[in-house]
Structure 1
């Protein structure tokens, strides 16, 4: 139960942060990606701020305790493996993000606004996840 409550609170905080920072606005995201036009640096500042907070938090917690609030072990990866599925997935993510200006987090937040684009995006995202799960054994 505690795991679900913490997950809900973290999700609500993340969604609120996306709304306050304006990162749910596809035009703002596409402005960030338009480096040769009317470039909007605000997304880089939001990502940088989030990265600093996350790095500090992870380092602080990793030194102080070995388990999370929900009881699972804190296990920091020590090695990065770059695979073909990872590269293909990153390329598909980047292409989709650039075309529509929405990624999974803001897409889910936008469902609450009633925008039809959010429903199309999240439906396509779920279909993509299902297709990947079915194809993953063959991609190996």
Structure 2
């Protein structure tokens, strides 16, 4: 039953991405050209909602779907690692015209060439998993 709720949330998220045009290559291109506010508005809304949700979880001692306490641990603040990761993510996003969430949405909408991009993202994640222990912390 829990997996079904995840499927419903994921389907809803995909519909929102598609209807808001967040999965549109044209909208992403507009954003990187600084031609339109559309994507910045979506991303800004997500950041604000994320901040509010994290603060709510921290202050209300919220429980997970399983009934366990939700813990949000502090992350290491490593500028170099974040800068390199951000640059790689941004380059991939600009080249592919989609970040990970919209890739699934685009495949679901019938844009099958995105499967190549999705395969590349999965391969990159796999390679990172292999190299993670060898990377400086």
Interval containing the TM-score (normalised by the shorter chain): 0.7 to 0.9
What's 1:45 paired with? 41
What's 1:15 paired with? 14
Which aligned pairs between 1:71-82 and structure 2 lie closer than 5 A? Answer: 71-82=67-78
* Inter-CA distance 42–63: structure 2 relative to 1 (3 Å threshold): same
Matched residue pairs, number?
Answer: 136
- Contact conserved, 2:103 with 2:114, CA < 8 A, in 1? yes
Unaligned runs of 5+ in 2: none
Which aligned pairs between 1:81-100 and structure 2 lie closer than 5 A? Answer: 81-82=77-78, 84-100=80-96
TM-score normalised to the size of structure 1? 0.83
- TM-superposed CA distance for 1:113, in Å, is 2.1
Unaligned runs of 5+ in 1: none
What per-residue deviation string (whole Å, max 9, x for no partner) do you get for residues 84-123 of structure 1? 4443222111111112221000001111122133111101
- TM-superposed CA distance for 1:74, in Å, is 1.6
**Pair 1:59-2:59 in alignment:** no
Instruction: Tell me how large the CA RMSD over aligned residues is.
Output: 2.0
Residue 84 of structure 2: SS of its match in structure 1? helix
Residue 113 of structure 2: SS of its match in structure 1? helix
Residue 106 of structure 1: SS of its match in structure 2? helix
The 2-side partners of 1:6 and 1:54 are apart by 20
- Contact conserved, 1:85 with 1:139, CA < 8 A, in 2? no
- Contact conserved, 1:110 with 1:118, CA < 8 A, in 2? yes
Residue 116 of structure 1: SS of its match in structure 2? coil
Which aligned segments of 4 or more residues in structure 1 are displaced greater than 6 angstroms?
A: none
**Pair 1:130-2:126 in alignment:** yes
